[in-house]
Amino acid sequence: MIRRIDATEKAIELIKVLKEKHGDLMFYQAGGCCEGTQPQCFEKGGYYQRMGDVCIGTIEDTEFWVDKDLYEYWKHAHFTLTVIDAFGVGGFSLETPLKKTFQIEYRIFTEEEEKDLEPVKIID
């Protein structure tokens, strides 16, 4: 099966650091507002998803949730979680005090990949 999300080594290293400090984590990527469209990292359960929000996969046993409307727009795209040395837009994410910011790079799935995508989990 084709994964819907992957991460760079640098992002995986940062997730490990954050897990050591905060325990289990979760990601949420909204479609706008004060946090822009950057993925936000929270302690697991530290953000309440809405009905219809979608978990597109996991990174280092950390669920990556996407706003239902954003998912509809990007459901044909592969996400790659990256990290840069910068202060993020919203400042709510756990990496902010470390002067880091998670980002997503997108690419469209090929027709062949679309036939074998991992299933998603949707909040009913």
CB 15 within 8 A of CB 25: yes
- What integer pLDDT is reported at residue 89 of this predicted model? 64
pLDDT, tens only, 6-18: 999 999 999 999 9
Cβ neighbour number for residue 8 with a 10 Å cutoff: 14
Q: Average pLDDT for residues 55-72, to the nearest whole number?
A: 96
pLDDT, tens only, 25-63: 999 998 766 555 789 999 999 998 999 999 999 999 999
> Does the pTM of the predicted model rise above 0.75?
yes
pLDDT higher than threshold 70 for residue 123: yes
CB 29 within 8 A of CB 104: yes
The domain limits of the chain are 5-115
Domain 5-115 has CATH 2.60.300: yes
- What integer pLDDT is reported at residue 38 of this predicted model? 86
- Residue labelled with tokens 């009913």: 124
pLDDT higher than threshold 80 for residue 1: yes
- What integer pLDDT is reported at residue 30 of this predicted model? 86
pLDDT, tens only, 79-115: 999 999 987 666 789 999 999 999 999 999 999 999 9
- What integer pLDDT is reported at residue 36 of this predicted model? 57
